[in-house]
Structure 1
Amino acid sequence: MRLVLLFIFCLQSFLYAQEEHGKASFYADKFEGRSTASGEKYRHTKLTAAHRTLPFGTSVKVTNLDNNKSVTVRINDRGPFVKGRVIDLSKSAAQKLNFIRQGTADVKIEIVSVEDAKVENIEPDVVSLPENVKYYGLKMDTVERSGFGVQIGSYRDMENLMNTATNLKPAYAREVTIKQRMVDGAKIYSLIIGHFHKRDEAEAFKKKVQKRHPGSFIIDYSLF
């Protein structure tokens, strides 16, 4: 049997979805057509937002706590830099949350997907640090695997993989394995959940995760 997988994570330490609370604001009309920090042009009709630390491309669900209305937006800019505000929404997103008249709203932010996120080198400062920083314990060992697992996704950046891992549903409480391989001289990291002895067990688990991770598929550890 080959030694195939580099890391095994202690899953209990990071099976909690990231969540943030605070004030949301929205872009003024004067910003229409201006470049955002990601290089995209701001368009008020698109469901986008600015956040101080989340990677560009991250999708988040924003819920107005006053009326329970929700909208999913994609992070493509930095800000807001006003104390107490956690996200700056495009005007169309603010309209969906129905707080245009008020100007701001108390919201809850939940990460939906980080699969398309781009990681930047950001120098944090006291002003831009998130207000609900979380710390996670991590255990790594080289392991041998047999049987089957369900691959959730592959990533060029370990940061993107970790963002996905930290937002796995608690109901998925299984061993998490990271496979590292070289492709065209670059390291690729694959996130695999579960260690099943029978393929039908892996099939049943795949059906469970596919609603949230539609690209999931079964891998046979013995083939590596």
Structure 2
Amino acid sequence: MRRIFFTLFFNFLIIVAFAQVQTGKASFYADKFDGVTTASGEKYRHNKFTGAHKSLPFGTKVRVTNLANDKSVEVRINDRGPWVEGRIIDLSKAAAEELGFVNKGVADVKIEIVDAGDGKTSDPGRPIEHVMVEEKEFYEFEITRLNPKGYGVQIGTYQELVNLMRLSDNLKNSYKKQVTIQVKVINGIKYYGIILGKFSSRSKAEEFREELKMKFPDAFIVEYNRL
């Protein structure tokens, strides 16, 4: 797996990516969301096996296992969320039914990556990185390749370049910390991890992670020379 680090220096305008196994709580979409456009540009359908994750690239296929009954289902990530603390995935109603927790509403689950995906939605004519932008949206930045040391706080891992630039800009302006991008190539697909800050000790990085906890509950500390 190839790794590259670089920083983005924005004028005006300008995440380990995901562990192979993740555990936490799953919820599912309410019926009222059927037909609503998801973050990938697809419409949510309750009878399809899809899900929402905060950082996994669109098109990623994951196996979700209900830890209470050991039932499993494979879903494709096509949306962002859930935004409730402690929840790691939102599932379609069909997937929740397969896992047997519709009546309970939430379940303790394990997520495992099955396939990193091919970067396409179910519509072969539209790329998954379909992101609505303003008619005139410009970004200017300089890139410096790095061999960083110390510690940082990884916010998430992304594949969509527009989202990467927007979030990097917001983080830099909000927290006044250096934004470092880690480029990973997995199965021929590039992923971009956003790491905030450069700290000389883990304790200082932990203090900053606590500051981010409310907005980014899944943020975690990384040691640059071990990535």
TM-score normalised according to structure 1 size = 0.50
Structure having the larger proportion of residues in strand: 2
Which has the greater radius of gyration? Answer: 1
